[in-house]
């Protein structure tokens, strides 16, 4: 990349999806302006930049918006010099994309279901789903890491970023509901990986404290309850 | 790519996701062995090759399986010489990936909801969702095609393949329920694009007749009804 890059990231400190983009930019050593958003009162800039989903992250590069975390991470990887975030081997790259889609399609909704469940039965069901998905990620780790420290080998790379961005939320779920998502008994490889991931200085820079996630979850739950009460009131 | 490639595609004639992979391979001029699967009686090869989702398409390349249509299409694009399927401009590529995710996350479940709805109210709701998503794809077409014939410009490329693979199913929905998903009144650009897409010789080679889709939908509906009856019977 030649010339001066103008990079602005619309984010939310507790969003795993935003953390992915911050880690990708940090891997490439790229500096950017970070602009925290209030999702309870969305800014004009956010609504204009992501009219389809109205969500963070949005990376605005030289005035042009990019949305969806996995799309942005790949864009950052393809655009900037520095360590390759996705595997360079094409079969390994396809495998990493497969598991990234799995995290977003299966693991993420199951985890979010634990946070937002309305009943204990519903929560128990989501815990089972999450555990099943985590069990499959244990196999994915064995397949991708080939005995090394990270999904990406010796360093934190694509799948580390994709899954690792959720780890502090798994801690939050333990604090809130006593649910252990990554347990050393059941998924020893992932548990050891999670520890290594959390020790990284780059990770520490962008991942908030567990309490911040718990507070945000409580705010979200209160907002949902208020909206539900309003709907019942208007019936 | 040097040497002889061994490519086997596990597919289903009526699957839009399989059609995507066939069109990608055809764009690259690559030959492959096609093996039709029976999803009501899954083969050992399918279960072994895609143990996570147990779904088609699976592309087996020199003995190594690849799953998930968008992952496979990108792999084929990166591996083989020939016309580039994804845009080469990085911002356009990110935009194409964004809309491909939109098709799979928003449009596809809404369309499938029309096919499988249990009540007319549920179907009407899914028709509204599908129409909203198609309205956004009309804007995507204007953005990506820049006045040319296809999302990919002068030729059928990534987003044409991703969305176009559903068109015969939209015709099937019209036949089954009288629902017009792409109407020239509401989405004139997409309607004209759909016509051009359908006239392509490459498309005609891999897209089945509408009746085949209708028959498959009826088989699927019957299987779901039988499974539901069995569940009620066992209560």
Give me the tens of pLDDT residue by residue for chain B, a chain 235 residues long: 445 689 999 999 999 999 999 999 999 999 999 999 999 999 999 999 999 999 999 999 999 999 999 999 999 999 999 999 999 999 999 999 999 999 999 999 999 999 999 999 999 999 999 999 999 999 999 999 999 999 999 999 999 999 999 999 999 999 999 999 999 999 999 999 999 999 999 999 999 999 999 999 999 999 999 998 888 776 5
Of A75, A94, A98, the CB nearest to B94: A75
Query: Residue A127 in contact with residue A114, Cβ under 8 Å?
Result: yes
Determine whether the interchain pair B78/A61 forms a contact, defined as Cβ–Cβ distance below 8 Å.
Answer: no
Residues A85-107: tens digit of each pLDDT: 999 999 999 999 999 999 999 99
Distances in whole angstroms, Cα of residue B107 to Cα of each of A78, A90, A167, B102: 28, 29, 30, 7
The pairs formed by A93-96 with CB atoms below 8 angstroms and a separation of 24 or more are: A93/B75, A93/B78, A94/B66, A94/B71, A94/B72, A94/B74, A94/B75, A95/A143, A95/A144, A96/A144, A96/A151, A96/A158, A96/A159
Give φ, ψ of A20 to 5 degrees. -55, -45
- 3-state class (DSSP) for residue A209: coil
Strands (E), chain B: 7-11, 33-36, 58-61, 64-67
- Report phi then psi at B64, rounded to 5: -105, 125
Alpha-carbon gap: A96 to the closest alpha carbon of chain B (Å): 9
Out of A52, A75, A136, whose CB is closest to B90? Answer: A75
Question: Looking at residue B2, what is its pLDDT?
Answer: 42
A65 touches chain B (CB under 8 A): no
Measure A129 CA to nearest chain B CA, in Å. Answer: 13
**Token reading at A33:** 């302006």
List the structure tokens of B219: 């088989």
Q: How far is B10 from chain A (nearest CA, A)?
A: 17
Return the pLDDT at B80: 97
Distance CA B18, CA B59 (A): 10
Residue to substitute from A61, A81, A85, A94, interface B, most B β-carbons within 10 A: A94
Q: Say yes or no for a CB contact (<8 Å) between A71 and B97.
A: yes
Kind and range of the H or E run holding A79 = helix A69-79
B190 inside 8 A of chain A by CB: no
Of B68, B79, B91, the CB nearest to A98: B68
Contact at CB, A74 and B94, closer than 8 angstroms = yes
R_g over Cα of chain A: 18
The whole-angstrom distance between A209's CA and the closest CA on chain B is 31
Which chain B residues in 101-160 lie under 8 Å from chain A, judged by CB atoms? 101-102, 136
User: Do the beta carbons of residue B170 and residue B182 sit within 8 Å?
Assistant: yes
Domains of chain A: residue spans and CATH: 7-79 (3.40.30.10), 90-212 (1.20.1050.10)
Q: Contact A91/B67, CB-based, under 8 Å?
A: no
Assign B23 to helix, strand or coil: helix
């Amino acid at each position: 990349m030649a010339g001066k890059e103008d990079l602005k990231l619309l984010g939310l400190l507790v969003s795993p999806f935003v953390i992915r983009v911050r880690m990708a930019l940090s891997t490439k050593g790229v500096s950017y302006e970070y602009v925290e958003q209030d999702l309870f009162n969305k800014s004009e800039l956010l609504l204009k930049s992501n009219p389809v989903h109205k969500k963070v992250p949005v990376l605005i590069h030289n005035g042009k918006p990019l949305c969806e975390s996995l799309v942005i991470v790949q864009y950052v990887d393809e655009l900037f010099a520095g360590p390759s975030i996705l595997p360079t081997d094409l079969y390994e790259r396809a495998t990493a994309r497969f598991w990234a889609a799995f995290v977003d399609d299966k693991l993420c909704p199951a985890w979010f279901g634990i946070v937002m469940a309305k009943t204990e039965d519903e929560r128990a069901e989501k815990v089972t789903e999450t555990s099943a998905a985590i069990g499959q990620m244990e196999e994915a780790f064995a397949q991708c890491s080939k005995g090394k420290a990270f999904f990406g080998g010796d360093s934190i790379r694509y799948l580390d970023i994709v899954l690792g961005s959720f780890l502090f939320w798994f801690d939050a779920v333990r604090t809130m509901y006593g649910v252990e998502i990554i347990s050393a008994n059941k998924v020893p490889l992932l548990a050891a990986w999670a520890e290594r991931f959390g020790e990284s200085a780059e990770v520490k820079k962008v991942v908030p404290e567990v309490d911040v996630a718990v507070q945000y979850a409580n705010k979200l739950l209160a907002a949902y309850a208020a909206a539900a009460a309003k709907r019942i009131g208007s019936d």
